[in-house]
Amino acid sequence: MRIVTTPAAAREALASMPKPVGLVPTMGFLHEGHLSLVRRCRGENATAVVSIFVNPLQFGPREDLSSYPRNLVRDQDLLERLETDLVFAPDASAMYPSDASTFVEETRLSADLCGAARPGHFRGVCTVVLKLFHIVQPQRAYFGEKDFQQLQVIRRMVRDLDVPVEVVGCPLVREADGLALSSRNVYLSPEDRLRARALSRSLAHARDLVARGERDARALQREVEAFLRRDPALELDYVAVKKADTLEDADSLEGRILVALAARVGKTRLIDNSVLEV
């Protein structure tokens, strides 16, 4: 496994590696969700590349950029066990010139949900992902469905800008108790960890309601909100019921429906979702 830290070194290394190339973009502090992407990438491509970069552009001024969990040595050990071919681990100065003034922005799918809660977040995501695509030039790139809005925004960017990359969405991975895997789970105290289980349970409640015949999107949204508000220590950011493919508001429940939510548990903001086939 090769480890490089600059775009030039990544291009040089990839010049002699076989195609197709698959890319798994990450911010590091890898967990089983990330590793499931790497395994799929490894199985579907001749060359597997993982980027590890805590992207400052996608953090707001009062967010956790400085404290975001990092452990590059551990990450590299995990990736070597999975026979990753190349790890691209730049710092911010290697990715962005000090006077950088060019950004990439999707304006429709990113307007709501986490885009409304975190202004500028998806501009940072699109900018870094497009840069990674230019540097690595993969044939396929792998993203988890836990960040479902991010996945759809990247798909739209690739479509709109004619980027020759197949964007592959991979299933959300959960802990044994249902909590969606996230690098930020490390922030949770034992008490917050117990409270956080309400997120996945509220989605299970939504699935049960649909299975019993609920077809009104607003009623479903209210039910999930009420479920989460049972614990006053949970600070609810949003619950939304959307058409999964377009992220447009759903009125009736039919086709592929996304139930998405975000809540603050203690000091930690967590997201979760479930895609329902109605």
Model pLDDT, residue 171: 97
CATH of the domain at 219: 3.30.1300.10
Domain-ending residue, one of 170, 200, 228? 170
Model pLDDT, residue 209: 98
Quick one: 235 and 131 in the same domain? no
197 is written with which tokens? 């289980």
Model pLDDT, residue 245: 94
Cα–Cα–Cα angle for 113, 115, 117, rounded to 5 degrees: 75
CATH of the domain at 154: 3.40.50.620
Model pLDDT, residue 219: 98
Model pLDDT, residue 265: 96
| Alpha-carbon gap, residue 201 to 174, rounded angstroms | 12
Rg (CA), the chain: 19
CB 143 within 8 A of CB 151: yes
Quick one: 71 and 119 in the same domain? yes
Can you tell me the mean pLDDT for 135-155?
98
Q: For the segment 242-272, what is each residue's pLDDT rounded down to a tens digit?
A: 999 999 999 999 999 999 999 999 999 999 9
Quick one: 74 and 104 in the same domain? yes
Residues constituting the chain? 278
Closest to 88 (Cα-Cα) out of 169, 27, 19? 27
- Domain with 10, as residue range(s), is 2-170
Amino acid at 155: R
Catalytic residue check, 31: no
Upstream peptide bond of 20 is cis (omega within 30 degrees of 0): yes
User: What's the structural domain count of the chain?
Assistant: 2
Can you tell me the mean pLDDT for 82-101?
97
Per annotation, catalytic residue among 34, 121, 134, 205: 34
Indicate the pTM of the whole model. 0.96
